[in-house]
């Protein structure tokens, strides 16, 4: 049974979301406070965090940053802030999805189910090695190492990189990347993919202005340029 942690300061919203997810068979932990949420995460094997940004003790952004220091757990941010700049900031600090209130509990449940279907139907375990071993993408461990140093990627960052790796030589449009990895909010999705690509490049490219792994194909999309 997959465990989910809800950190939401509106108790009525929290209880409704909890009830919907429990009805689907998930084990749900919940709290209205950010610090308690961090402790619950540390003590339990959480697979997904549903995180409100407006909390009474610390901000949801700080909760996300703290958890991202040591974990690549999936994080769905929920907030009343609907501006594109706010969404981009959420993605930059490690969110996998950014959902805007008012949010239908049925929609959220559908997104959660889709996430766990993808996790449960992962492809065969494969490890890819590029540029004389400088970059290694290990699907089984869901890890990326660069010059023997593990590089922390969020789940969606890993999924984007892996999709490019297994389609080496092919140009994938933003729409194709959305289709292959799923789970990203379609509102402003072009910019969303670009933000993820920018973040991945910061982590694996020596020179982000002249990337050798993730290559931009103007007006089309992206392709993987590593040498086997």
- Domain boundaries defined on the chain: 3-120, 127-224
End-to-end CA distance of the chain: 38
Fold (topology level) of 3-120: Rossmann fold (3.40.50)
* Global confidence as pTM: 0.60
The CA–CA distances, whole Å, from 109 to 47, 139, 177 equal 15, 27, 23
Burial 18-50 (b: 16+ CB within 10 A, else e): bebbeeeebebbbbbbbbebbebbeeeebbbbb
Q: Rounded to whole angstroms, how far apart are CA atoms 84 and 107?
A: 20
Nearest to 17, CA basis, from 7, 47, 117, 95: 7
**Is 3.60.21.10 the CATH classification of the domain at 127-224?**
no
Q: Rounded to whole angstroms, how far apart are CA atoms 193 and 173?
A: 10
Long-range contacts, 124-133 (Cβ 8 Å, 24+):
126/166, 128/165, 128/166, 128/228, 129/228, 130/213, 130/226, 130/227, 130/228, 131/212, 131/226, 131/227
Residues of the chain with pLDDT under 50: 122-125, 184-188
Do the domains 127-224 and 3-120 match in fold?
Answer: no
DSSP H helices in the chain: 11-23, 34-43, 60-68, 84-92, 105-120, 155-166, 174-181, 189-204
Nearest to 156, CA basis, from 101, 123, 119: 119
pLDDT of residue 123: 46
pLDDT of residue 124: 46
Tokens of 94: 């490690």
């Amino acid at each position: 049974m997959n465990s989910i942690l809800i950190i939401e300061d509106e108790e009525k919203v929290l209880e409704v979301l909890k009830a919907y997810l429990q009805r689907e068979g998930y084990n749900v932990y919940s709290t209205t406070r950010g610090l308690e949420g961090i402790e619950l995460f540390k003590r339990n094997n959480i697979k997904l965090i549903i995180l409100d940004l407006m909390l009474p003790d610390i901000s949801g952004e700080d909760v996300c940053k703290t958890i991202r220091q040591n974990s690549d757990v999936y994080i769905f941010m929920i907030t009343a802030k609907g501006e594109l700049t706010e969404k981009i900031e959420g993605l930059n600090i490690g969110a996998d999805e950014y959902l805007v209130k008012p949010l239908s509990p049925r929609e959220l449940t559908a997104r959660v189910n889709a996430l766990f279907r993808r996790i449960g139907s992962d492809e065969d375990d494969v490890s890819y090695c590029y540029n004389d071993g400088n970059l290694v993408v290990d699907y089984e461990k869901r890890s990326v190492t660069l010059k023997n140093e593990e590089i922390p990627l969020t789940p969606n960052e890993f999924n984007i990189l892996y999709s490019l790796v297994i389609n080496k030589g092919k140009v994938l449009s933003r729409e194709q990347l959305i289709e292959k990895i799923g789970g990203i909010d379609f509102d402003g999705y072009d910019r969303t993919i670009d933000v993820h690509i920018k973040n991945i490049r910061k982590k694996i490219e020596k020179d982000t202005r002249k990337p050798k792994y993730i290559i931009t194909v103007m007006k089309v999309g992206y392709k993987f340029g590593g040498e086997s």
